[in-house]
Amino acid sequence: MGLIEPYVYKTKDGKKFWLHMKKRGKATLYYFSKDPVGALFNIPRGYEVTKNPRQELPMLKKKVGGLFSNLFKKSPIKKEQTQETK
């Protein structure tokens, strides 16, 4: 491989997993594989790599929070506000 290499996740016991992507209709699937052929070079924006607690395998997860996350949250509407007074 050259100077720029695909994204690889290394486990504690030395196993390597490369990040891949598949398009299925409108959905985009990200997954890790032991095969480096066709691997992505970067983690997609808005995602982070986490570890599955049961199998200890890497997986992508959408990031929660951020600088502007509070601006786009919907405020809960109380029942009293939605009911009309008679």
Predicted local confidence at residue 72, as pLDDT: 57
Q: Which residues contact 21 (CB under 8 A, 6 or more apart)?
A: 28, 29, 30, 31, 40, 44
Q: How many CB atoms lie within 10 A of CB 50?
A: 10
Is the Cβ–Cβ distance between 59 and 32 less than 8 Å?
yes
pLDDT, one tens digit per residue, over 46-77 is 999 999 888 889 999 998 875 665 555 555 55
**What does pTM read for this prediction?**
0.68
Higher pLDDT: 78 or 53? It is 53
Q: Which two tokens stand for residue 7?
A: 């994204």
The torsion defined by the Cα of 12, 47, 28 and 3, in degrees rounded to 10, comes to -60
Higher pLDDT: 59 or 79? It is 59
